[in-house]
Amino acid sequence: MEIFVVPTASATGSVAAGILAAVIRSKPDAVLGLATGGSPLPIYRALADHTVDMSAVRGFALDEYVGLPAGHPESYAEVVRREVTERLHLDPAKVTVPDGSAADPERAAADYDAAIAAAGGIDVQILGIGHNGHLAFNEPGSALDSRTRVEVLTERTREANARYFSAPSDVPARCITQGLGTIMEARHLLLVVNGADKAGILAAALNGPVTAECPASILQRHPHVTVVADEAAASQLAPGSGQVAVRVAGAAAVA
Ligand code: F6R
């Protein structure tokens, strides 16, 4: 695992975008796993400044709410369209989001896993982490080998995401999420984290036991993980523990 600690959230985006641009240059039809939420936005903004042809890049979103009307601005289909597909000039036909309005969401979830496999798997999976340790919408208690499925969101997650909706009660109760087992099949995991409010859970995920109670702790079992964190989010990481920390722009090293 390599950990880049950088001064600001904006810098997390620059570092992560540099990694993605290098991947796309060497594999123009790379398959990216696309996280939504606030953490990856600086990545997509920074990636847009790279002069790399992204027209052949393929993308699979991490998750989607179940039950929002088609075209709802906070559906992840719309967020991915605005923040990723349009910003980076991806081909919309090559970007897939779980179908949260499917008549049979469980079936849509199983089909999603099959679509990822048919694309040859994900080259780089972009990830954020929830305050409760969730990865995608795999809430605490999710099986470490879970597949893409329908999941019930915890109240903590719905509260965190209420900022995007006019009322907390508008946040859907269910979602389709890539499973932890699905995520672990990606060849490279790129976790981006910022803010002091994530410091405790990031330390628990990277330095604590691997347990379903902290789904993001599964990252410790993946052979190729890059963490890009700002100083505030990295402030509680334990020194040592076999991680390689990299100083960027004068930021504190984890070492
Ligand atoms: C988003 C996702 C979630 C978020 C997490 C952190 O697609 O799957 O796991 O990454 O909730 O959200 P932010 O970045 O908004 O703090």
The tens digit of pLDDT for each residue in 43-86 reads: 999 999 999 999 999 999 999 999 999 899 999 999 999 999 99
* Cβ of 33 less than 6 Å from ligand 1: no
Q: Which atom of ligand 1 is nearest to the CA of 136?
A: 8
* Residues with catalytic roles: 63, 132, 134, 139
Nearest CA to ligand 1 atom 9: 136
The tens digit of pLDDT for each residue in 85-134 reads: 999 999 999 999 999 999 999 999 999 999 999 999 999 999 999 999 99
Single-letter residue type at 82: R
**C-alpha 192 – ligand 1 centre gap (Å):** 10
Contact 33, 80 (CB under 8 A): no
The tens digit of pLDDT for each residue in 148-200 reads: 999 999 999 999 999 999 999 999 999 999 999 999 999 999 999 999 999 99
The tens digit of pLDDT for each residue in 189-237 reads: 999 999 999 999 999 999 999 999 999 999 999 999 999 999 999 999 9
* Cβ of 43 less than 6 Å from ligand 1: no
**C-alpha 49 – ligand 1 centre gap (Å):** 23
**C-alpha 39 – ligand 1 centre gap (Å):** 7
pTM tops 0.75, yes or no:
yes
Q: What fold characterizes domain 2-247?
A: Rossmann fold (3.40.50)
